[in-house]
Every structure is written in C-alpha cells, then in structure tokens.
Structure 1
Amino acid sequence: MTNVRHRIKEVLAELKAEGHRQTQIAESLGITQASVSSYSRGEHDVSIPVAMLFEANYGYRKDWILNGELPKKVDSKNQLAEVARIAKQGRDLDSIPEIRDLLPDIKKLKEEDYNVLVTTIRRFLGKK
C-alpha cells in the first residue's frame, strides 16, 4: 500500500470520527460512494482532482495527501487571501495566470476527473 493510500485512509478515518458518512463525503466530492469505500480500504490512490476536492471541501492539503508535504491542513486565512487576490484581478480568465496556465491541462483530464472539477467549480460559485 502506498503512502498516498495511508494518508487518504487517515483523512477518511478523521472525517468519520467527525460524523461524516461515506455517502455524504462522496456527494460533496462528486464521486461515487464505491470510490470513497475503496479509498478507505486502501485499494486505490486518489487522483489529483479528487485530492483537490478533499482540500477544497475538508481542508486536507492536496500536497499532503499526494506527497506527504506538511502542513496537513490548509491555513484558512492564507487560502482566503489568495482567493480574494485572484478575484480582484477580474473575471477574464486570460488575465489570471494561475487559471490560464491550467486550461491546457484541464482539457486533457479524463472525463471523470473533468466532471469532478466542474462540479467543484459550480459548488464554489453556488451553482448546482
């Protein structure tokens, strides 16, 4: 079992201890309950987009889940400051280097990962 699998199992155990159910976690991430179950059993690694969703929804850093880079959880103040900085640049995607540079990679995503990303963006924007 890889360290990624150990870390995602740890995340899921902590979320369960906080009262989250697998079905709730799956729904919040836009993935199947079966996927969450396989992660909790250590059967599969998480993809980058799914790790990003764990970060966005539960605060466990993508870089910690995938690579073990500390800190384990996001610093909410720093994250909010970064979101505010990007938002102040305007809504034109071409004017936001962080997003513009990701567009070619987004186009290459597998369909499931693409759907997860779109779901996350919609939730962030308050659109379901």
Structure 2
Amino acid sequence: MNLSERIKLILEENQLKQKELAKELGVTESYISAIINSRNYNISQALATLIEEKYGYSTSWILEGTEPKLKVIGKNRTLSDIHKKAILQIEKLTPEQIKAVLAFVKSLEEVENDLKGRQ
C-alpha cells in the first residue's frame, strides 16, 4: 500500500473529505489532492506525527506502511483496531464527555445483566 492509498484509507475510515483533512492538518486541499493522486510521494515527519495525534494512525504506518496501522496504546498489544480507535477517540473527550460515556457503558452492562437474568 503506497502513501496515496494510506491517506485515502484515513479519509474513508474517518469519513472525511479532502477539504476537511486539509483544514485539520493546516495544509491546502491541493496538497492533500496531490498526495491522493500520487503527484506527491512524500510527507514530512511532522505532518505524519500530526495525523497520528489527531487520528491515531502510527507515524511509521503513514510514512512507510509499517504495521501496526494504529499507534499502540498502553501495554495491551492484543487490542483490535476498533478498540484502539475507540480509546483514541476517548482521549480527546472532555471530562464531562467521559463521564457521559462511562454512564452509557454502565447502562449497557445493566441492560445485558437484565437480559441474562430473564433467560
């Protein structure tokens, strides 16, 4: 997978348009377009690091295609990509938003326990 394909995948997985990604990264839309259309085969280490910080894709995967695709979080190396992505999103939340997420998770556990109790 080349750089163009990796950037396309980032757009797809995050449901972003080129314009949105460009704005988030502080580059022009034409720069993103050049990467996607294979007119630009390299990006800087700094830009790859910014993508890692904002979207969770590892710098080495962005630059070279080296696995793992998502940056490793914590000591649990067995987390699936979806788990890693969820953790990365949670890291961006405010304390109030995290409380809401925890309340939601707790309510899911309660519903699951209720369903088990009825069986």
TM range (shorter): 0.5 to 0.7
Instruction: Please state how far the C-alpha of 1:9 moved relative to its aligned partner.
Output: 2.6
**Residue from 45, 50, 54 that aligns with 1:53:** 50
User: TM-score scaled to structure 2, two decimals?
Assistant: 0.53
Q: Structure 2: how far apart are the matches of 1:75 and 1:8?
A: 23
Q: Which SS does the other structure have where 2:69 is aligned?
A: coil
Instruction: Please state how far the C-alpha of 1:70 moved relative to its aligned partner.
Output: 1.4
Q: CA RMSD in A?
A: 2.3
**Residue from 64, 70, 81 that aligns with 1:73:** 70
Aligned length: 75
Name the structure 1 match of 2:6: 10
User: TM-score scaled to structure 1, two decimals?
Assistant: 0.50
Q: How many percent of aligned residue pairs carry the same amino acid? A: 27
Name stretches of at least 5 consecutive residues in structure 2 with no aligned partner: 76-91, 93-119
User: In the alignment, is residue 38 of structure 1 matched against residue 22 of structure 2?
Assistant: no
> Structure with the greater relative contact order (CA < 8 A, sep ≥ 6): 1 or 2?
1
User: In the alignment, is residue 26 of structure 1 matched against residue 22 of structure 2?
Assistant: yes
**Mapping for residues 67-106 of structure 1, pairs under 5 Å:** 67-77=64-74
Q: Structure 2: how far apart are the matches of 1:7 and 1:16?
A: 14
Q: Structure 1: how far apart are the matches of 2:62 and 2:55?
A: 12
